[in-house]
Amino acid sequence: MRPDISEMIVKFVDVEAPRQMRFPPELRCPTPFMDTIEFGPTELRAIEWLELPTDLESVLSAVGKFPITASGDRTRITGYASPI
3-state secondary structure of 46: helix
pLDDT in single tens digits along all 84 residues of the chain: 567 888 889 998 999 999 998 887 666 656 677 777 787 788 888 888 989 888 888 777 777 777 888 888 889 988 766 555
Cβ neighbours, 10 Å, residue 15? 12
Strands of 1-84 (E only): list them: 7-12, 19-22, 33-36, 40-43, 47-52, 68-71, 74-77
β-bridge mates for residue 43, sequence order? 33
Interacting residues of 80 by C-beta distance below 8 A, sequence separation 6+: 64, 65, 66, 67
